[in-house]
Structure 1
Amino acid sequence: MNIKIFCLCLCFYFTTAKVVTTETPLAASSAVDGVNVVTKSTSSNVASTTSRPAVAATHQKPTPSHSFAHDVRLDEDGAYWLFWESNETHVTFETHVKTRGYVGFGLSGNGQMFPGDVVVGWVKEGVTHFKDCHTVEHVMPKEDDSQDWTLLHGEENDFGTLLRFTRKLDTCDDDDFKITDDTIRVIFSFHLDDPVDITSLPWHGVARRGSRALLLLSATSASAVTMPADLQSFGLLKKNYHVPSAGTTYHCSTFRLPDLNQKHHMIKYEPYVQKGNEKHVHHIVLYFYDREIDRQYDNINYDCTRGKSTPQGLRGMRSIFLVWAVGGGTYYLPGHVGIPLGTDQDPKFFVMETHYDNPTRKTDIVDSSGIIISYTTQLRQHDAGMMYTGSSVSPRQIVPPYEKAFVTCSYCPEECFDRALPDEGVKVFAVFQHAHLLGTAIKTRHFRNGTELEPFANDKHYDFDFQDIRAKTHEINVQKGDSVSVECTYDSRYKTKPTFGGISTEEEMCISMLLFYPRTRLNGCVSSPRFEAVNQNSTHHTVEMIKHWDWTQPAVRRHFKSVLADTDYDMSCFGYHMDYHPYIKKMKVPTATYQEPRGNCPT
């Protein structure tokens, strides 16, 4: 069992938690800081605890009280559904749970039992009971002095129990979890019975609790975009691929897009992960080339784990078209942008690289997963592109052992943006960040004239098992002369040897992908440290030397950090019909760092 999930099962063990009853008056309505509040008695739906009808046996998605921007099934059985929407100040949640008993819901940065910001509620004899609590260490939740979660509505219906509630993004309460665009773990539980009284809750059991990582503020929404009538789809799918028994496999398949005859815009893409293989399909990257590819390479398959089996005609520079990773869902581009397809300047031939994880070395995994892209002739205002930036995937990215929060950095210099951006710059509307198992935080930083600007993304609670595209609530302008840095924080306390950069999940990565418009030639910008202080002659020999350092010594780890801080970096930028440009530079330190805006909380 996943340790995080095991810890979570304690989080909602509210055996003696105090819960205060909230009665919802008939047809009462008010406003809570700009959020409409509508509550009503549900006594007509409920007779008594003993005479209430059983919940419906259906596993279909329940119907929310109104149209929400986002929804997710939190458990595998479809017994717990969450709907939500947000504005600049609040998030409103609606839970639909297949029970006539109590419902638990909460927020956590790490998915563990504490610190957790939790609520619990149920409907009994027409009265909704609802309470704001928090968890402190491995003990029962405590009632918050400040009740900052506001109940909007509660009822029992054919599906089960519905609770709708809201709270501010920042309640200024130390017992509450501040809601940001970080990855946030939603924690949940429920029981089939109401508690005997408000001072005691029966334990929900092992099967009726869990956690799910979500982007509450920056998830993409289907409801925000209207799908055109002429929408077409093209599936890039494996065909019964027998996954090897190796721990990590990268498998490549090639596809040629049908002749579209005219310009189209791709406006969404979605993963298709074969049922039963969810734990093995880790991520998918779709590549394209800026040159014609011979048709002899159409519809072929090959192992691309180390690149040695790549056909000769498919070697060389290629660019990223799209990416999907575990935990991600369908991505809808904003209504004013689309990725162009169908003209002579657009991709026609794709290589789909699928990363398979098989830690138990199973021999019976057969997979037909892939990506489905959807496109239309109804062109949007802007052509969009994607840029990959971060650390080069190589052993020169080094994470020493025994470190709680070790940071690696990469840098994309201003020369790259000078060469490729239009005079008006580009606007970034979404970001995808990626690291492996040791990653705990990722920040994609933005600099201009020595000053650090607002980061493109800053995830302080990165989750390897949940990697999705972050839709920006406001677009960020990137200009000629700007530069970008990607910082990844790693927890290597339980490692005894260095972890090197590489493609397997036991190695590490640190990358960020920026989606922007208008499309430019620039598609990639990466860097690697040179480690001149260790060995000026060969970076390969440097890596071999570093492997054998005595990493148990704190002085050795401090020395490595000083070497890394003072080294030059190999930097390069490349792209579609764009020559490869290498640079050797030091990391620039901004003269002024970015300061997050102060909230409205009293100091």
Structure 2
Amino acid sequence: MEGYKYHVMLDMKSKLMLCWNVFYENKTVSFRITCQLPPDYWFGVGFSGYGEVTNADFVVFWNDPVKTHHLQDSWTDDKGALHSDKSQDYYLNKARTEHGLSILEFSRPFDSCDDHDYLLDNGTTHVVYFTSKGTPSSCIGKDVRQLRHGFQRVQLLKPDVNLPSLPSDVWTFDITAPKVHVPGVETTYWWYITTLPKLNHKQHIVRYEGIIQKENEGIVHHIEVFHCFGNNPVKPYSGPKVPEGKMDPNSDLARCKNVMGAWAMGAEPIIYPEEAGSPIGGKDFSHYVLLEVHFHNPHLQTGHVDSSGIRFYVTPTLRQYDMGIMELGLEYTDKMVIPPGEDRFTLSGYCIADCTQMALPKDGINIFASQLHTHLTGKRVWTKHVRNGLELPEVNRDNHYSPHFQEVRVLRRPINILPGDALITECEDSTVDRRNVTFGGFSITEEMCVNYIHYYPKVNLEVCKSSISYDSLYNFFYFMKRMESVDIVINEGIKYNYNSIPWLPINVHLLDYVYQTSPISMQCNQSDGHRFPVSSFFTTYTFNMFTIPR
């Protein structure tokens, strides 16, 4: 890893590791691949939309029968067959063998203007790989699907931010897993209740980072620490995650919701701006937390014991501002749905100007990090920033979003949100493999569309989200009853009526139009759950302020 800022272990068996540096000044990325494979093996590393080895962009390395080395910019078609790219846009810098490791160093641009090359961006990147025995004279036509392959998710284009140094009085504490015996299954979410240090006076967290056991780097996928609210003790727990739809809302575990720290594979430390910190300790501050570790074990390995976690850096010298976390997007409600069988369906949630006008201080707030969140159908997520009817640069965007890779991402530049600004969070969801309507809600099989923004100074606005108004939704149901003779029964409730609709293309388009043009209801909620005194119902006229010139 020497000389490279970032790294991710792709495959533990072959010790296949990808290291990289990002150069924004000339929009290129330099890579180093190391692997421990016998001389008669060949391999490829590349990128695809969501981890598929079909329709992927690869750089392939092999030795031919006369031991000549080859590095080739390649791509796969929809059947997984390798093709040589006519435009060779991966540039080999060095190739060598060292201590039994094959080492390749090369570079490529963010955007090569080649249709067969993956466009690198600052969202999630699915890094794909394959390994295979043999010394082929050519890799053309080889079916990658038949080779040993896999993928990892990273944020490849990390932000080039100037990070403040740590204060001299900083101290640390770790929240780690209790020597978990990792099951030999592909996906495990492990929960563990533990405690924070007891502090009599408020202090500030100024940084946190993942601490990952070296031998488990390839299977510890992501980690989150959730703060548990309330003054009562939380019962001990160490075991598999309780599915969201099966958790008792009154249980101790249900109290552990507020994100304190989040790490994902390939993530760098989160360092707060020098003027802000996350408060910890003091009177009535709960010292209970829930640690969640996601183990991704695609090769079903056994025998791993893990004590990975997150390290927090704390200073007793309070900074100028407390930082806060605010929820943007859609309410968790069954009023919003995604029809079945849709390749992409877009839902939008609004934080309207009336809410920010009332809740934000004169100089506004500064967003420095963002965590996008959906459940299983989310494919793309972004948040727009609108001021006086004009769309400003987006807050955050992930064009290859995965619900299994939800890290807090520091923005390249803080974004100032002023009173009267609007924020629109949109999610593209795919339900091609579902036969029934997907409802909004808390269960993992239901959907969410949320952006948890990290900002300072902390204000009393904690939730700024919307959904379609009840009147508009029932007008839609009545229309479907009259025009389509749908079995709409108002007293049966929302889910019954949505499920009664035949989701033909014309009805899907109609629902999309209704969501885009109908009045909305607003959640403009304070930290204690009470709403700011703005109307919770906005007519279609409200949408005029979101009209963005093109």
Letter matched to residue 465 of structure 2: V
Report matched runs for 1:445-484 at 5 Å: 445-484=384-423
Cα–Cα, structure 1 residues 352 and 413, in superposed 2: closer, same or farther, change >3 Å? Answer: farther
Q: Return the offset for 1:217.
A: 0.8
| 3-state SS in 1 of match to 2:495 | helix
Q: Return the offset for 1:310.
A: 1.8
Cα–Cα, structure 1 residues 235 and 543, in superposed 2: closer, same or farther, change >3 Å? Answer: same
Q: Check the 8 A contact 1:454/1:594 in 2, yes or no.
A: no
Aligned counterparts of 1:368 and 1:419: Cα–Cα separation in 2: 47
Post-superposition Cα deviations, 1:254-300, rounded to whole Å, max 9, x if no partner, equal 74541154623241054889x99x999987562455xxx44x43555
| 3-state SS in 2 of match to 1:74 | strand
Post-superposition Cα deviations, 1:459-514, rounded to whole Å, max 9, x if no partner, equal 22212222222222222221111111111111122322111122222111111111
Structure 1 residue 588 and structure 2 residue 539: aligned?
Answer: no
Structure 1 residue 73 and structure 2 residue 3: aligned?
Answer: no
Aligned counterparts of 1:226 and 1:121: Cα–Cα separation in 2: 41
Post-superposition Cα deviations, 1:534-590, rounded to whole Å, max 9, x if no partner, equal 437999854134233232433333332333233322212334468432622256255
Residue 107 of structure 1: aligned partner: 47
Aligned counterparts of 1:200 and 1:556: Cα–Cα separation in 2: 45
Post-superposition Cα deviations, 1:193-228, rounded to whole Å, max 9, x if no partner, equal 544x3577988896743212221113799x967667
Post-superposition Cα deviations, 1:4-46, rounded to whole Å, max 9, x if no partner, equal xxxxxxxxxxxxxxxxxxxxxxxxxxxxxxxxxxxxxxxxxxx
Identity among equivalent positions (%) equals: 23
Q: Return the offset for 1:162.
A: 0.7
Cα–Cα, structure 1 residues 86 and 487, in superposed 2: closer, same or farther, change >3 Å? Answer: same
Letter matched to residue 503 of structure 1: F
Aligned counterparts of 1:87 and 1:328: Cα–Cα separation in 2: 17
Letter matched to residue 80 of structure 1: L
Aligned counterparts of 1:310 and 1:238: Cα–Cα separation in 2: 26
Cα–Cα, structure 1 residues 113 and 202, in superposed 2: closer, same or farther, change >3 Å? Answer: closer
Residue 574 of structure 1: aligned partner: 525
Q: Return the offset for 1:449.
A: 0.9
Q: Check the 8 A contact 1:248/1:505 in 2, yes or no.
A: no
Aligned counterparts of 1:117 and 1:398: Cα–Cα separation in 2: 34
Aligned counterparts of 1:523 and 1:381: Cα–Cα separation in 2: 20
Structure 1 residue 178 and structure 2 residue 92: aligned?
Answer: no
Q: Check the 8 A contact 2:175/2:291 in 1, yes or no.
A: no
Report matched runs for 1:187-202 at 5 Å: 187-191=128-132, 194-195=135-136, 197-198=137-138
Aligned counterparts of 2:426 and 2:68: Cα–Cα separation in 1: 50
Post-superposition Cα deviations, 1:67-122, rounded to whole Å, max 9, x if no partner, equal 21210100133610000111211111110011234331212123223432221235
Residue 325 of structure 2: aligned partner: 386
> How does the TM-score come out when normalised to structure 1?
0.71
Report matched runs for 1:115-194 at 5 Å: 115-122=55-62, 128-138=69-79, 140-191=81-132, 194=135
Residue 551 of structure 1: aligned partner: 502
Structure 1 residue 297 and structure 2 residue 233: aligned?
Answer: yes
Structure 1 residue 520 and structure 2 residue 459: aligned?
Answer: yes
Q: Check the 8 A contact 2:57/2:118 in 1, yes or no.
A: yes
Aligned counterparts of 1:502 and 1:381: Cα–Cα separation in 2: 37
Q: Check the 8 A contact 2:367/2:417 in 1, yes or no.
A: yes
Q: Check the 8 A contact 1:185/1:214 in 2, yes or no.
A: yes
Greater alpha carbon shift after TM alignment, 444-453 vs 97-106? 97-106
Residue 54 of structure 1: aligned partner: none
User: Which of 366, 372, 381 is the matching residue for 1:442?
Assistant: 381
Cα–Cα, structure 1 residues 381 and 92, in superposed 2: closer, same or farther, change >3 Å? Answer: farther
Aligned counterparts of 1:255 and 1:456: Cα–Cα separation in 2: 34
Cα–Cα, structure 1 residues 297 and 215, in superposed 2: closer, same or farther, change >3 Å? Answer: same
Residue 9 of structure 1: aligned partner: none
Aligned counterparts of 1:594 and 1:225: Cα–Cα separation in 2: 38
> How does the TM-score come out when normalised to structure 2?
0.78
Report matched runs for 1:332-343 at 5 Å: 332-334=270-272, 336=274, 339-342=277-280
Cα–Cα, structure 1 residues 592 and 154, in superposed 2: closer, same or farther, change >3 Å? Answer: farther
Cα–Cα, structure 1 residues 395 and 257, in superposed 2: closer, same or farther, change >3 Å? Answer: farther
Structure 1 residue 265 and structure 2 residue 205: aligned?
Answer: yes
Cα–Cα, structure 1 residues 262 and 385, in superposed 2: closer, same or farther, change >3 Å? Answer: closer
Q: Check the 8 A contact 1:320/1:523 in 2, yes or no.
A: no
Aligned counterparts of 1:157 and 1:446: Cα–Cα separation in 2: 50
Aligned counterparts of 1:505 and 1:81: Cα–Cα separation in 2: 32
Letter matched to residue 98 of structure 1: Q
Aligned counterparts of 1:249 and 1:149: Cα–Cα separation in 2: 37
Aligned counterparts of 1:349 and 1:445: Cα–Cα separation in 2: 36
Residue 483 of structure 2: aligned partner: none
Letter matched to residue 368 of structure 2: F
**Which segments of 5 or more consecutive residues in structure 2 lack a partner in the other structure?**
296-304, 478-488
| 3-state SS in 2 of match to 1:297 | coil
Q: Check the 8 A contact 2:279/2:322 in 1, yes or no.
A: no
Cα–Cα, structure 1 residues 163 and 472, in superposed 2: closer, same or farther, change >3 Å? Answer: same
Letter matched to residue 440 of structure 2: G
Residue 361 of structure 1: aligned partner: none
Letter matched to residue 178 of structure 1: L
Q: Return the offset for 1:165.
A: 0.8
Residue 343 of structure 2: aligned partner: 404
Cα–Cα, structure 1 residues 133 and 308, in superposed 2: closer, same or farther, change >3 Å? Answer: closer
Letter matched to residue 437 of structure 1: L
Structure 1 residue 561 and structure 2 residue 512: aligned?
Answer: yes
Aligned counterparts of 1:186 and 1:147: Cα–Cα separation in 2: 19
Q: Return the offset for 1:183.
A: 1.7
Residue 217 of structure 1: aligned partner: 157
Greater alpha carbon shift after TM alignment, 482-491 vs 110-119? 110-119
Cα–Cα, structure 1 residues 186 and 413, in superposed 2: closer, same or farther, change >3 Å? Answer: same
Post-superposition Cα deviations, 1:359-413, rounded to whole Å, max 9, x if no partner, equal xxxxxxxx99895351222756764322122222222221111222111111112
| 3-state SS in 2 of match to 1:535 | helix
Aligned counterparts of 2:491 and 2:290: Cα–Cα separation in 1: 30
Q: Check the 8 A contact 2:128/2:151 in 1, yes or no.
A: yes
Aligned counterparts of 2:81 and 2:67: Cα–Cα separation in 1: 27
